[in-house]
Amino acid sequence: MPIHTAYLHFNTTHRQEFVRITDDVAAIVKASGVRDGMALVSAMHITSGVYVNDWEEGLIHDFQVWLEKLAPAGLPYRHHQTGEDNADAHLKRTIMGHQVMLPITNGALDLGPWEQVFYAEFDGQRKKRVVVKVMGE
Amino acid sequence: MPIHTAYLHFNTTHRQEFVRITDDVAAIVKASGVRDGMALVSAMHITSGVYVNDWEEGLIHDFQVWLEKLAPAGLPYRHHQTGEDNADAHLKRTIMGHQVMLPITNGALDLGPWEQVFYAEFDGQRKKRVVVKVMGE
Amino acid sequence: MPIHTAYLHFNTTHRQEFVRITDDVAAIVKASGVRDGMALVSAMHITSGVYVNDWEEGLIHDFQVWLEKLAPAGLPYRHHQTGEDNADAHLKRTIMGHQVMLPITNGALDLGPWEQVFYAEFDGQRKKRVVVKVMGE
């Protein structure tokens, strides 16, 4: 069974930024030669996530406003006693999820018509990684 | 390694509806012939989810009330400027999760005593799909 | 393809308790002999979860305060009409997630520098299990 591993690298301009990675993952799947199987796409940092949803700027804005309401920055989080200031980023990424498993059928990602894969950065402006591991036949 | 792919189809009566799919997934696993492995169960639409929790009508009601509180319908979401009216459905499905990986042991789903698999529809009354992909030996 | 299955057992002192299980999962992966693949780590009960985040006591406290705010105990949940009193535990575990897939590369968990795996108990003081299933080469 072929198993193929690749890493995506990020260094976002803004502290919070959602980056569409569907095409990057699709390219890794194609290079893997796997025709039928699954691809794990997982953030390797604990202040960012990976999720599947719509590629529509208005909705991305809605997600960000909503996350700020559910997990606000600037509260007196106990985590900040360590010198960190990013507790809200840990919470926000928890809501969005930190990984997805993508089905592969006939050599391509088997996604619904509107499914797009995103990297969600909540504490960026530095180097981050996502691991992509493809398994199948 | 056998890999088996199937699709579940939904067209719910109500806009929001939670449908138990444990038996449907178990039947796909049995048909696959896989004795040891995993099954990915993943919504192919971005306004529905798949989750594991209790098969108890009271709790399902509690989930729905809770989601309405955390991600209300009817707010002036920016996504609605596209003509859509379902931004809350995208948010609600994000909280519930859009997919699960189910372990398979001895030819059956290896679930705890109360684990049940559900399809969570938040923008129904039209055709939707869930992909089930079984991998293993 | 080797597939290896193991179970972790818990019986927490407190009703709510987060337990770091990274080393337990790493030991199962090592014993499996899998050099390249994935490990599913999934709670088998519906009032506990498994998540990846920071091993920092302040942040764990922040998570617990935050979950209490988003999914409070003690509300008149309909689930409680069955005699249960743990509806909030079902909701809290939904936010944290009930499972993770961990990549395995070169015979070890392929985690980022701060990624730690936790079992999140929300209705403990009794026997619970987590299934770990390792697949790969």
Q: Could you tell me if C40 lies within 8 Å of chain B, comparing CB atoms?
A: yes
Q: Could you tell me if C86 lies within 8 Å of chain A, comparing CB atoms?
A: no
- Three-state helix/strand/coil letters over chain C: CCEEEEEEEECCCCCCEEEECHHHHHHHHHHHCCCCEEEEEEECCCCEEEEEECCCHHHHHHHHHHHHHHCCCCCCCHHHHHCCCCHHHHHHHHHHCCEEEEEEECCEECCCCCCEEEEEECCCCCCEEEEEEEEEC
CB contact under 8 A, A98 and C52: yes
Q: Write down the ipTM of this complex.
A: 0.97
Q: Could you tell me if C42 lies within 8 Å of chain A, comparing CB atoms?
A: no
CB contact under 8 A, C58 and A82: yes
Please report the pLDDT score of residue B15 as a whole number: 98
CB contact under 8 A, C54 and A42: no
Nearest CA in chain A to C35: A3
Which residue is associated with the tokens 């091993």? C55
pLDDT, one tens digit per residue, over C74-120 is 999 999 999 999 999 999 999 999 999 999 999 999 999 999 999 99
Pick B95's closest partner by Cβ from C43, C95, C129. Answer: C95
CB contact under 8 A, B77 and A59: yes
Chain B hits for C71, Cβ within 8 Å: 66
Cβ contacts below 8 Å, chain A against chain C, sum to 81
Please report the pLDDT score of residue C2 as a whole number: 84
Mean of pLDDT over chain B = 98
Select from B70, A99, B137, A54 the least CA-distant residue to C111: A99
Phi, psi of B19 (to 5 degrees): -120, 125
pLDDT, one tens digit per residue, over B85-98 is 999 999 999 999 99
Which residues fall within 8 angstroms of residue A47, CB to CB, at 6 or more apart? A86, A89, A90, A93, A121, A122, A123
CB contact under 8 A, B80 and A58: yes
Measure CA of the first residue to CA of the last residue in chain A; give whole Å. Answer: 6
Pick B103's closest partner by Cβ from C45, C70, C131. Answer: C131
CB contact under 8 A, C77 and B62: yes
CB contact under 8 A, C82 and B56: yes
Q: How far is C17 from chain B (nearest CA, A)?
A: 20
Burial category of B113 from C-beta neighbours within 10 Å (exposed 0-12, middle 13-18, buried 19 and up): exposed
CB contact under 8 A, A115 and B80: no
Among A79, A95, A98, A131, pick the best mutation site for testing chain C contact (most C Cβ within 10 A): A79
How confident is residue B1, by pLDDT bands cut at 50, 70 and 90?
confident
Pick C66's closest partner by Cβ from A91, A98, A131. Answer: A91
Cα distances (angstroms) measured from residue C115 to each of A77, C22, C23, C35: 20, 9, 12, 20
CB contact under 8 A, A101 and B101: yes
How confident is residue C54, by pLDDT bands cut at 50, 70 and 90?
very high
Q: What is the pLDDT along chain A (137 residues), one digit of tens a residue?
A: 789 999 999 999 999 999 999 999 999 999 999 999 999 999 999 999 999 999 999 999 999 999 999 999 999 999 999 999 999 999 999 999 999 999 999 999 999 999 999 999 999 999 999 999 999 99
Among C41, C53, C117, pick the best mutation site for testing chain A contact (most A Cβ within 10 A): C53
* Cα atoms in the Cβ-side hemisphere of radius 13 Å centred on C134: 23
Are B136 and B110 a contacting pair, CB within 8 Å?
Answer: no
Please report the pLDDT score of residue B7 as a whole number: 98
Q: Which helix (H) or strand (E) holds B64?
A: helix B57-70
pTM of the predicted model as reported, rounded to 2 decimal places: 0.98
CB contact under 8 A, A97 and B94: yes
CB contact under 8 A, A42 and C103: yes
Give partners of A (≥3 CB pairs < 8 A): B, C
Please tell me chain B's helix, strand, coil percentages from 3-state DSSP, rounded to the nearest 5: 30, 35, 35
Q: Could you tell me if A70 lies within 8 Å of chain C, comparing CB atoms?
A: yes
Cα distances (angstroms) measured from residue B27 to each of B7, B31, B59: 12, 6, 26
